[in-house]
Copies of this chain bind each other. A is one copy, B any other.
Amino acid sequence: MTPHVVILGCGFGGLFAARTLAGAPVRVTVLDRTNHHLFQPLLYQVATAGLSAPAIAAPIRAVLASQDNVTVLMGDAQRVDLARRAVLLEDGEQIGYDHLIVATGAAHSYFGHDDWAPHAPGLKTLEDALEIRRRVLLAFERAERESDPARRAPWLTFIVIGGGATGVELAGMFAEIARHTLHGEFRRFEPRNARVVLVEAADHVLTAYPPELSEKGRAQLERLGVTVWLGRPVTGVDADGVQLGADRLAAKTVVWAAGVAASPLGATLGVPLDRAGRVIVQPDLTVPGHPEVRVIGDLALIPSHQPPVPGIAPAAKQMGRYAAVSILNSLEKKQPGPFRYRDYGMLATIGRNKAIAMFGRFQLSGYPAWLLWLVAHIFFLIGFRNRVVVLVDWAWAYWTLQRYARIVLGRRKDI
């Protein structure tokens, strides 16, 4: 009987695992709790009204339609039963597997302070991005309704918690919105007087980058008007602002980019996890004692792989391909070598036309780094149509300083 491969999650890991199995002598079921594959590196663009949601997401069914051996299901995996080799879904349905690839990724971690979550949304899903967009744009709208400058100030203060790539990209874009996009649109205040504050507990931003690049990134942020507070761990977040030890910043819009935790599905496997909830896997990505189960992407920790595999899209993609190939190898009784991450570097944008980039020992910053980022992201987007749309949107935004995905629906529910 044709072996059944079940893939949980259709992010970069799951999608590229499925694509690698095209035409293979297996039956594949892809399960995702949404109907789309998300290009997460550009999520901050949706959060800052630079791109519409469909521009960075592709319908999974459409992407995999031509692969006859693949069935796509939309549903929530609740638990994996390793002994019975079955995945239990939210409505009680069970899906049996011969091989399982768990690729459900990561979510936010508030370091035990889940009560901060409603006041400081993170950025992992499209819903997150649209919620952040709504809060930012409606904050400016509220400011225009407020006649008292003292009461207006918290509406015009935006705090980003966490100085990694996500936080830096968000903070830079908030500053661009205040400085350029909304210029001239308000009558009761000057948008460029909005405060954008990036708060980081470590002593520099972008700790994944070498110090000289982090420094360049910070300088660029400050040139955009972002206030960068380093060495400041957050001690409290509420509806009116952020507490940093003895200091308090009053702000109605706070965004969380400070911690990730692994998908809760990992814990249901009943195998050892690390402190962040990631599943500890073998060098070949299999779960100890279960060679038919592989964990990939942000959910996996490979202790034997040094330096550690970064939690970025290219790594998930490579792990997805590797997992698929090693399943095929196992069907032919071949042994795969260990997974080895090929480092093609990292990029982070700062504002509308600057970035920092590194590739091995090669470093780049400023405008040339941003051009590299642009090309790389367009190239790696899924779907030719999305590439055209994103190019049009970005070219337009670049030349006109406008951000066009500024539509907000509904109200802020947090206020």
Contact = CB atoms under 8 A, between A and B. Distances in A.
A230 interface: no
Contacts of A61: 182, 185-186
Nearest to A57: B407
A413 interface: no
Interface in A178-199: 182, 184-188
A288 interface: no
A292 interface: no
A404 B72 CA distance: 18
A393 B404 contact: no
B35 A137 contact: yes
Interface string A30-53: 000011100000000000000011
A358 interface: no
A17 interface: no
A248 B167 CA distance: 54
B145 A408 contact: no
A72 B185 contact: yes
A318 interface: no
A52 B141 CA distance: 23
A166 interface: no
A410 B187 contact: no
A387 to B, nearest CB: 11
A130 interface: yes
A22 interface: no
A36 B392 contact: no
A388 B35 CA distance: 27
A335 interface: no
Nearest to A396: B385
A349 interface: no
Nearest to A144: B73
Given A55-B52, A392-B392, A72 B144 contact: yes
B127 A409 contact: yes
A74 B406 CA distance: 14
Query: Interface size for chain A: under 10, 10 to 19, 20 to 34, or 35 or more residues?
Result: 35 or more
A275 to B, nearest CB: 31
Interface in A137-179: 137-138, 141, 144-145
A406 B52 CA distance: 12
B71 A187 contact: yes
A62 B72 CA distance: 41
Interface in A390-408: 392-393, 396, 400, 402, 404-408
B73 A145 contact: yes
Contacts of A52: 52-55, 405
Contacts of A55: 52
Contacts of A65: 184-185
18 contacts: A34-B409, A35-B137, A35-B138, A35-B141, A52-B405, A53-B407, A54-B407, A59-B404, A59-B407, A61-B182, A61-B186, A72-B144, A73-B144, A74-B138, A74-B141, A126-B407, A126-B409, A383-B404
Given A35-B138, A53-B409, A127-B409, 20 more contacts: A34-B408, A35-B406, A36-B408, A52-B52, A52-B53, A52-B54, A61-B186, A62-B406, A65-B184, A65-B185, A71-B187, A73-B141, A73-B144, A126-B407, A126-B409, A127-B410, A385-B396, A388-B392, A389-B389, A389-B392
Interface of A: 34-36, 52-55, 57, 59, 61-62, 65-66, 71-75, 93, 126-127, 130, 137-138, 141, 144-145, 182, 184-188, 383, 385-386, 388-389, 392-393, 396, 400, 402, 404-410
Question: Nearest 7 A-B pairs (CB), nearest first?
Answer: A61-B185, A74-B141, A52-B52, A59-B406, A54-B405, A65-B185, A52-B54
